[in-house]
Amino acid sequence: MFWYSFLLEACYNYERQQGLGFCINMIPVVKKFYKTKEEQSEALVRHMAIYNTTPHVSGMIAGVAAAMEKEASENKDFDKSAINSVKIGLMGPMAGLGDSFFWGTFRIIASGIAISLAQQGSPLAPIVFLFVFNVPHILVRYFGTKYGYMFGTKLMTNFKENQIIQSISKAATIVGVMIIGGMAASMVSMSTSLSITIGETSFAIQSYLDQIFPLLLPFIYTLLMVGLLKKGLKSTHILLITIAVGILGSIVGFF
C-alpha cells in the first residue's frame, strides 16, 4: 500500500479527483482479503468514489479503510457503505493538517534552505530541497499507512459487537456533508445584478436576498447540480453547463 500510494494523483480528474489513485492504493488490500473476482470488483468499484486530500497524509485514511475492508470480508453483516462514509469524514480534516504541515511549513523551510544555497552557487540546493521536504513526507506516508491500519483494526475489534461503528459512520457522514456545505458557501460565487426601479429609486435584488438568505443563489445552484449528479449526469457535463450559465447570465445581465 505504501508504494501504491505514490500513484494517488496519477489520474487526477474533475469527476472523481483522486478516486482512481485511491482505488489503485487499495489493490493489495482487496487482493488479500477478497478471494473471488466478484468481491474484488465490488470493492474496487467502491473505492472509485470521489476522494481528495493531501497526498502525504492519505496513507492514514487508506490504512483505516484497509482495516474496514478486512472486517467487511470476514463479516457478511458489515455495512460496507460505512467505509466510504469514514473516508469522506477523514479526508477533510486530514487535508487541513496535511496542507498546513507540508505545503505551508515543510515546503517553505526546504525552499528557504535551498534558495540560500542556490544564491551561493551550490549545486546541492535542489538535492537539499528534496531531502528536507521528502524525509518527513515519506516517514508520514509510511507510518501513517501502518498506524492507520493498526488503529482501524483495533477500532473494528473493539466496536464490532456494540453498534459504535454505525455511530461513527453516521458522524463521518454528517462531517462530510458539513464540509461540502462549507465548500459550496466559500467556493461557489454567484450573485445577480438585477434591480427593480420604482419611480426614481432603484432596488438591488441581491442586497435583499443577502438580508433574507445570505448566499441563496450559490445554495440553490449547488442543489441543482447535486440533483443532476444523482440523475447520472457526469461532472464534466456539469462543468460545461456551469460555463454556459455564466456566459449567458453575463450576456443577459442576470449575473
Task: Tell me, yes or no, whether 12 and 99 share the same domain.
Answer: yes
Q: Check if the beta carbon of residue 234 is closer than 8 Å to that of residue 50.
A: no
Among residues 147, 182, 217, which one ends one of the domains? Answer: 182
* Together in a domain, 49 and 29: yes
What is the residue type of 42? E
Distance between CA 64 and CA 240 in Å, rounded? Answer: 36
SS3 211: helix
**67 & 165 share domain:** yes
The residue out of 182, 198, 222 marking a domain boundary is: 182
Same-domain status, 170 and 205: no
**From CA 180, how far away is CA 174, in angstroms rounded?**
10
Q: How much is the pLDDT for 215?
A: 85
> What is the residue-averaged pLDDT of the chain?
86
4-37 pLDDT, tens digit per residue, is 999 999 889 878 899 999 999 999 999 999 999 9
Reported as a single tens digit per residue, the pLDDT across 203-249 is: 788 888 888 888 888 888 888 988 998 888 887 888 899 899 889 88
Residues 150 and 206 in one domain: no
Predicted pLDDT of residue 166:
64
Q: Residues 139, 211: one domain?
A: no
- Report the pLDDT averaged over residues 147-164: 70
**Would you call 70 helix, strand, or coil by DSSP?**
helix
End-to-end, the C-alpha distance of the chain in Å comes to 47
Q: 78 and 28 in one domain?
A: yes
Residues 106 and 158 in one domain: yes
Domain boundary, last residue among 125, 160, 182? 182
Residue 164's pLDDT band (cuts 50, 70, 90) = low
Q: What pLDDT band is residue 252 in, cutting at 50, 70 and 90?
A: confident
Residues 30 and 115 in one domain: yes
Which residues constitute the domain of residue 209? 190-252
Q: State whether 57 and 144 are in the same domain.
A: yes
pLDDT score, position 168: 62
Instruction: Please state the domain count of the chain.
Output: 2
Query: What pLDDT, on the 0 to 100 scale, is given for residue 65?
Result: 93
Do 139 and 105 fall within a single domain? yes
Measured between alpha carbons, how far is 172 from 176 in angstroms, rounded to an integer? 6
Q: For the segment 77-91, what is each residue's pLDDT rounded down to a tens digit?
A: 888 888 888 888 888
The one-letter amino acid code at 113 reads I
- Tell whether 170 and 57 lie within a shared domain: yes
Three-state SS string over 7-67 comes to HCCCCCECCCECHHHHHHHCHHHHHHHCCCHHHHHHHHHHCCCCECCCHHHHHHHHHHHHH
